[in-house]
Structures are given as structure tokens and as C-alpha cells.
Structure 1
Amino acid sequence: MISGDAAAWIDLTDSDVEGTWKWVDGSTLTSGTETENSDTKSHQTPQHTGSDSVRNRSSRAAAVCLVLLCVLLMTAVVVLVTKIINLTEERDQLLTRNMQLSSNNSDLIKQRDQLKHGKNELSKMDGRVFYESSFYFISSEKKNWNESRRYCTERGADLIIIKNTKEQDFIQILSSTEVWIGLTDRDVEGTWKWVDGSTLTNGFWAPTEPNSNRGEEDCALTNSLGWADYPCTDHFQSICEKNILN
């Protein structure tokens, strides 16, 4: 028997083939040290597998983080682009409003200049009355229709054009006598036209008027009853109108 740590030869050798251990009866070694090495390897393998698992988890975590970072970046880009688009639209709207304001300002300046011009033209007229967007003036002298119109045009105005009932009522309050208005059918009998060339559509004729009772009654005047046709050579006062917007 072998006791303690004493060493002893056993019937095992690889003298025939290096690394191939055989017993003295010629059988090949199948256990022993190989089993120990195998056990050692089997114990080492899980160590390598655990390390690989950690690396795999780390790689997956890194990939997930990268994907999340990309998503966040894309979201930020979309938000930024949307904001830029909104700012661009607001800028365009402000530019449009600025252009409209500039246009309105130009119109106001133009109207102001027209008012100044109208005021200068009508400064020669005493007793002028302002109503709606026009100045009105009744002449003090009686003249025929042509002379009455000339009197108005020399002062930057013209014989009145009555456009609606409201203006007709205003004229009847303004004048208590017969006055020439800017209406005539001298070009075509029965076709009444205003001094601006427009054709009469709705009139405020007095009963039985127009009638041409005295023959050539081609010019119109207004009185307390309404309009009436009279010979253009008759003499009456006239009413001039100056529209400050024209």
C-alpha cells in the first residue's frame, strides 16, 4: 500500500505515441486525468458564457439607447420644422397686413388731398353746406340753365345730381324756391341724362311732370312738389354740388 504523499509508478505510458496513453494490457486510457481536464473545461465554459451574455446585454442596451436617441432627434427636428413653417406663415401674414395698411394709408392721404382740393375750390362759395360726401351751394343770382352750369363749373363744382330719396329730401329742406338741377333731355327728347352723362333711372317728378307744356322744356328744376321740366332759357337760381371724393 502507498501511504501519505509517496509517489509510485502505475502501468500507464505514451511511449508508443506521444499523448496517447495506454495501459500495459494495450487498452487506451479513457478516464483519469482526461476526466479531470474535461471537468475543468466544463466548469470553465459557463464562465465564458456569462461574460458573453453580459456583453450581449450591453450591446442590446446600447442599441436601444441609440434608437431612442434617434427618435428624440427626429421628434426635435419635426417640432423645429413645424415651428419654422408657422413662423414663416406669420411673417407672410404680417407682410400682407403691412401692405394693406400701406394701401389704406395711401387712400387716406389721397382722400385728404381731395378734401383740401375741394375746400380750395369751394372757398369762393359763400353759404356752402356740407352733406354726406359733398358740398352744396345755392346761387344768389337767377340765370338760364347753361349759365347756371357754367357758374358751378367755374367754382370746381357742377349742377347737382340727385341720386336717392334721402338726397332729394335734403335738397327740398335746403331750398325753398325753384332751382335748376343737372338734368336735361336736350340730346334725345324723353331720355333724361345727368350732367355726368349717366341716364336717369328713378326720378322724383311732380305730378303730371315732365309734360313739355311750353314746347321745348328740356331742362329740369326742383321745387317743393318735386321735379319739373322747363325751357332751358328760363332764369332760376341753381344748386351746385362738389363731391369731395371725385
Structure 2
Amino acid sequence: MHRKDGQTTDDVYENYDVIKVNIEKKITDSTQGRSSEFTESDCVMIRSSRAAAVCLVLLCVLLLTAVIVLCVMFTQERLQLISKNKNLTSERDQLIFKNENLTNRRDQLKNELLILDGWTYYKSRFYYMPNEMKNWTESRRYCTEREADLIIINNREEQDFVNKMFGGTTAYIGLTDSDVENTWKWVDDTNMTSGFWGSGEPNGGRAENCAVIVDQDQRWPTLFGWHDVLCNRDFKWICEKNISQLILP
């Protein structure tokens, strides 16, 4: 068959086949190009996703580490607070116990002070001179039965106090050299370091082993200070009780 433009039908089909092949080739090339571009994009996305996943894991690890550290710190502080609270509780109980003991001691002291009617208080000590006469041994027994002892004179101030409160008489004090001659000791077994002996005293030798304090005694108006005497002679005496003896059990 012939067309007006001079082309035959066979020529038309042949041209159509060529055009079809060219079109299919272009489509294939285009598709392959897009596939290559798509593949590279996917790789970039995969790498980005992996990096994000790694960052997320690291972040989780850091957060977990921080949580663990905070938990440990909190636990330690809690244990310290518990320990401090126990210590405070123990100290509180001790203070309560001490307060109860002090209250009991105070009540005991009040009772003791009521019993000590007639005793004279001076600088944490109580003094008493009964209005009777005994030898040195019996005088001391009288004092110890009342949780006291014969007086120990430690200094000039106490000596003046005794003269003022119990002057005008002669009274036994807690001083003797019965164990070793001329080694005068107090009843608490301490050595006498300084004394207030009268003129020429002590002068009794082996016989006079006990001491008395003399002050304005009408029987011996010229005698003052300490004198050694026979321990079996009867004199008044002075008892002394330290205030700690009233408080301590």
C-alpha cells in the first residue's frame, strides 16, 4: 500500500519499531539511573540511622550510669543519716539516763542535808564537832559511822575557818604518826606536807602519836595550833565530810 507522502505501509511499521526501541531504551536508562540514585540515598539513610542508634545507646548508658551513681549516693547519705539518728538516739538516751541519775542524786543530797542537821558547810565540805569527848580511835569511829572522817586541814584558809567555827576548845584532827614515828599522816593515808604546829610541837616522842587543834581553850590559854597528845586521852573532835561523798554512790 502507498500513502500520499510516498511512504509505504512497511516503512511506517519499520519506523514505528525503531521509535519503540529508542523509547524503551530511554525508559530503561532512566530507570537504572533512578535505581542507582535511590540506592546511594538508602545507604546514607542507613548510616544515619545507625549513628543515631549508637548515640541513643550511649545516651541510655550515660543516663543509666548517672541513675546508678545517684542511687549509690542517696543510699550512702541515707545510711549516714540512719547512723547519725542512731547516735543521736543513743546520746539522748544517755542524757535522759544521766538526768535521771542527777535527779536521784539531788534527792539523795537533799535527804543527806536534812540528816546533816548541825553540820557546817564550807567550800564543798561539811564539818561537825559533837559536844562530847572521846579518845582518838573512838572519835574517828564516830565519824566513819556517819560516812565522814576526822578532819584533814589542807591549808591556812581551812585552818582559820576551823579556828573561827570551833575555837575556844581542843579537838582531835585526823593526823597521827602511829605507824612510823615522826612520819605524820592524815587519815586518808597521805603524808602531811605542811602543818600549823604550836611552838615547840610536836614534842611528845613515841608516846604522843595523835594530834589536836588548840585555840583559846580556857584550860590552856597560852596554847595555839597543833599539838601531839596521847591517843587515849579524851577530847572533842571534828568530823569532815566531802560533798562528793553525798553525791557518789
Letter in 1 for 2:132: E
2:232 is aligned to: 233
Report how far residue 45 of structure 1 moved. 1.3
Change (3 A) 1:61 1:155: closer
2:135 is aligned to: 144
Letter in 1 for 2:39: T
2:41 is aligned to: 47
Report how far residue 34 of structure 1 moved. 6.2
Change (3 A) 1:110 1:83: same
Letter in 2 for 1:105: N
Report how far residue 216 of structure 1 moved. 1.4
- What is the correspondence of 1:5-16 to structure 2 with a 5 Å cutoff? 7-8=16-17
Change (3 A) 1:160 1:53: same
Change (3 A) 1:133 1:107: farther
The answer as to whether partners of 1:139 and 1:239 remain within 8 angstroms in 2 is yes
1:175 is aligned to: 166
Report how far residue 191 of structure 1 moved. 2.8
- What is the correspondence of 1:38-187 to structure 2 with a 5 Å cutoff? 38-102=32-96, 104-105=98-99, 107-109=101-103, 111-112=105-106, 114-116=108-110, 118-119=112-113, 121-123=115-117, 126=118, 128-177=119-168, 178-187=170-179
The answer as to whether partners of 1:115 and 1:245 remain within 8 angstroms in 2 is no
The answer as to whether partners of 2:185 and 2:192 remain within 8 angstroms in 1 is no
Tell me, in whole angstroms, the C-alpha distance in 2 between the residues paired with 1:44 and 1:97: 78
- Secondary structure of the residue that 1:182 maps to in structure 2? strand
Letter in 1 for 2:61: V
Change (3 A) 1:227 1:89: farther
Letter in 2 for 1:7: Y
Report how far residue 76 of structure 1 moved. 1.3
Structure having the higher helix fraction is: 2
Letter in 2 for 1:135: F
- Secondary structure of the residue that 1:8 maps to in structure 2? helix
2:211 is aligned to: 220
Tell me, in whole angstroms, the C-alpha distance in 2 between the residues paired with 1:179 and 1:93: 55
The answer as to whether partners of 1:121 and 1:155 remain within 8 angstroms in 2 is no
Identity of aligned residues (%): 36
- Using the TM superposition, name which of 202-211 and 40-49 deviates more: 202-211
- Secondary structure of the residue that 1:183 maps to in structure 2? strand
Gaps of 5+ in 2: 1-6, 216-223
The answer as to whether partners of 1:144 and 1:234 remain within 8 angstroms in 2 is yes
- Secondary structure of the residue that 1:7 maps to in structure 2? helix
The answer as to whether partners of 1:122 and 1:155 remain within 8 angstroms in 2 is no
The answer as to whether partners of 2:176 and 2:210 remain within 8 angstroms in 1 is yes
The answer as to whether partners of 2:214 and 2:225 remain within 8 angstroms in 1 is yes
- Secondary structure of the residue that 1:228 maps to in structure 2? strand
- Secondary structure of the residue that 2:17 maps to in structure 1? coil
Over aligned residues, Cα RMSD in angstroms? 3.4
TM-score in terms of structure 2 length: 0.70
- Secondary structure of the residue that 2:195 maps to in structure 1? coil
Structure 2 residue 193 is matched with structure 1 residue 202: yes
Letter in 2 for 1:175: F
TM-score in terms of structure 1 length: 0.71
Letter in 2 for 1:149: R
- 1:57-111 CA distances to partner (integer Å, 9 max, x unpaired)? 4313312320231132023113202312321331243144235425533642563
Paired residues, number:
220
Change (3 A) 1:166 1:107: farther
- Secondary structure of the residue that 1:242 maps to in structure 2? strand
The answer as to whether partners of 2:186 and 2:192 remain within 8 angstroms in 1 is no
